[in-house]
Structure 1
């Protein structure tokens, strides 16, 4: 398992439930070489005295070295957790009202850290037949892309899922910037994602 040790005194932000761990706060990273270089690997975060602080998604090339999944030591970061969080975010919104909204006005379904999915933005475009537009802006959610897309389709019954990649953001995370359909059809040209 990858273990991130935070510099003494830098754990205060994590104890205050701030979800980002910057490069400047990291004392060391222990684990197998393959884990240390793989974006999106789940890491245990601990203080300099060894106290558990969080579980986070590792991003070895970003200035934000890790984004917290959970501050609960007993909560596993697995398929079930990702599905629960996607479903909870979707359930906050009345999908039927979204489908009745103006066709060209996107409605935010998932708003990153606010929904416990750091770096993930999902907008619903109610044009017929409807499109989900996802931005995977961090290595952690990118590593769970398949689970996220399948859960979104099941929770919304929207069959068209498109990835809009912000090249600058993804480059900062060490991720390729490929936009395109992840499921179903590409959205019509008149929809703007900027």
Structure 2
């Protein structure tokens, strides 16, 4: 097994639980480890720190699997880690029938994503080291979860950065294209073969439930359901929740005809088709059009895809966030609520909130923060590893200062 020795003058991120070792932190390497091989990591004094897999092609040289020098990385290792991840969800989630069951580094399995949709698992092997152990992982998944089928969604560009090809397909058993899940008591269909990422975004589960108090209490009597606009509605998860919690009418906008088709199905199967209007449109254009027409809503929900895929895109991403939030504030009735999110890791919470504040300044609005949230409990974060903290979700009351 190769050995990686770290520099003396480095930040002790590894000792604080960060699972990545960058090329720039390494003093020297003993042996000739190849991509995916296991290596032991030592500090400059030769003290063992961790064991992980290496990829000399990546700026993240080593990803840590264990801090125990006696722990073998075999099928038993993966069974233990998967069982720990499962028990974590069972402790903190009321329903684990469908959820993110393994969240990579945060579950001490860097490069592995497992989403559970009933008796079907959807898996992503994002790194060379995990891909090299795919047979062990599959065996462990079958032992721990006893699934009907496992589907690989390795059709992500990040694999190419690791020197891996993109791929997808049935990995075990039988996997239908469409599966049905229950979230917060509501039913959704998910396209696990062709849907975005693994087919569904579990990270917003608790946040979707958090909009419940906003959906009623409107009108002169204070007892009416609200008029809601959701932009970037994707397959309708926020829209269905809004209707379920009492919204009088929801306008749901997405640029994808396929996503709107699934959203319509999800709305219909929950019995709310009469309260939703769908529009296939670019959300930026639709917000401008609604603003120009003088449209007004009680609640606007913005849940866009990541605008910043890298650090170089942060400035343009923030311009985009400012534009959609500014337009949303303009079409909100006084005292209405803005529900706004960013899943761009490279845009920090501070930068995101400052961007929204800039939009409020330009629209002469006063914002009252009701709640700030991140991803759900099935997306834990290792303290000190901020890379896992990507989702920002805020609810603001918006009032005019004119």
Could you tell me the TM-score, scaled by structure 2's length? Answer: 0.42
1:24 alignment partner in structure 2: 24
User: 2:2 — aligned with what?
Assistant: 2
The question of whether the paired residues in 1 share the 8 Å contact of 2:79 and 2:143 is answered with: no
Distance 1:120 1:96, change over 3 A: same
Partner of 1:110: 102
Instruction: Measure how far apart 1:159 and its partner are.
Output: 2.5
Which structure 1 residue ranges, 5 or more long, are not aligned?
A: 100-105
Stretches of structure 2 lacking an aligned partner (at least 5 in a row): 179-190, 198-402
Report matched runs for 1:26-175 at 5 Å.
Answer: 26-31=26-31, 33=32, 36-37=33-34, 39-94=35-90, 97-99=95-97, 107-126=99-118, 130-175=119-164
Contact 1:83–1:147 under 8 Å retained in 2: no
The answer on whether the counterparts of 2:75 and 2:140 sit within 8 Å (CA) in structure 1 is no
CA contact (8 A) 1:87 1:152 kept: no
Q: CA deviation at 1:11?
A: 5.7
- Structure with larger RCO (C-alpha < 8 A, sep 6+): 1
- The CA RMSD over aligned residues, in Å, is 2.2
Q: How far apart are 1:171 and its partner, in Å?
A: 1.1
CA 1:193–1:76: 2 relative to 1, 3 Å: same
CA contact (8 A) 2:148 2:175 kept: no
Give the match's secondary structure for 1:181: strand
SS in 2 for 1:57: strand
Q: Secondary structure at the match of 1:67?
A: strand
- CA 1:124–1:169 in structure 2 vs 1: closer, same or farther (change >3 Å)? same
Q: Note if contact 2:121-2:147 (Cα within 8 Å) is conserved in structure 1.
A: yes
CA distance in 1 between partners of 2:145 and 2:75 (Å): 18
Q: How does the TM-score come out when normalised to structure 1? A: 0.83
> 1: distance between equivalents of 2:15 and 2:88?
27
- Cα separation, 2, equivalents of 1:50 and 1:11: 17
Bigger radius of gyration: 2
SS in 1 for 2:13: helix
Q: Deviations over 1:137-164 (max 9, x none)?
A: 1222222211211221222221311111
Deviations 1:24-68 (A, max 9, x none): 11222221x4xx22x221100011221211111111211111101
1:73 and 1:153 map into 2 onto residues whose CA distance is 27
CA distance, structure 2, for counterparts of residue 75 and residue 44 of structure 1: 11
In structure 2, the CA distance between the partners of 1:73 and 1:154, relative to structure 1 (3 Å rule), is: closer
Q: Which moved more, 1:152-161 or 1:184-193?
A: 184-193
Of 154, 166, 170, which residue of structure 2 is paired with 1:177?
166
SS of residue matched to 1:56: strand
